[in-house]
Amino acid sequence: MIEVSRTIRTSPERVFAVLADGWSYASWVVGAAHVRAVDERWPAVGARVHHRIGPWPVQIEDQTVVRAMEPNRLLELEAHAGPLGTARVRLTLEPVSDTATRLRMGWMAAAGVTRLVPEAVLSLILRPRNAETLHRVDDIAMHRQLRAA
């Protein structure tokens, strides 16, 4: 599993609110280009975000499915990326203090072409990409007015 983490200077509730807003998915997931639809139950287990990934004009329409969820603590996703395959993404939130949360992101190839790529090679690409994803969550949690649940 490829893992990165970031300490965000706000509560787990506020960080989780970003993850729980399916319409913000393309704002924080590096590579996601557009959210087409979000199941009303998001982020409940089984709910889906329907999105496009990749640069225009070669975007792939696919989806991400919630596999596990504990409010303000955990969101585990199965992210589909067309022919590239499927990844398991585990986002865990850990309070560090009253005003800070450690957000960890674990990424693992689950199916498809990416399973054929050695983890050391994937890590060279995905560590910076996933660190940028957490940086975006941080920015949204700290600076954007969140949608009401």
Q: What is the DSSP string of 23-49?
A: GGHHHHSTTEEEEEEE-TTTTSTT-EE
- Provide the pLDDT for residue 136: 98
Tens of pLDDT along 76-112?
999 998 888 899 999 999 999 989 999 999 999 999 9
Q: How do residues 33-53 score in pLDDT, each as one tens digit?
A: 999 999 999 999 999 999 999
CATH topology of domain 2-143: Alpha-D-Glucose-1,6-Bisphosphate; Chain A, domain 4 (3.30.530)
Report whether 78 contacts 90 (CB < 8 A): no
pTM of the model: 0.92
Strand pairing class (32-38; 100-111): unpaired
CB 137 within 8 A of CB 103: yes
Query: pLDDT tier at 146 (50, 70, 90 boundaries)?
Result: low
Within a 10 A sphere around the Cβ of 14, how many other Cβ atoms? Answer: 16
Task: Categorize the per-residue pLDDT at 55 as very low, low, confident or very high, splitting at 50, 70 and 90.
Answer: confident
| Strand blocks (E) in the chain | 2-8, 32-38, 48-53, 60-70, 74-80, 86-97, 100-111
Q: Which pLDDT belongs to residue 79?
A: 95
* Mean pLDDT across the chain: 94
> What are φ and ψ of residue 44, in 5° steps?
-65, 155
Annotated domain spans of the chain? 2-143
Q: Is the pLDDT of residue 147 over 70?
A: no
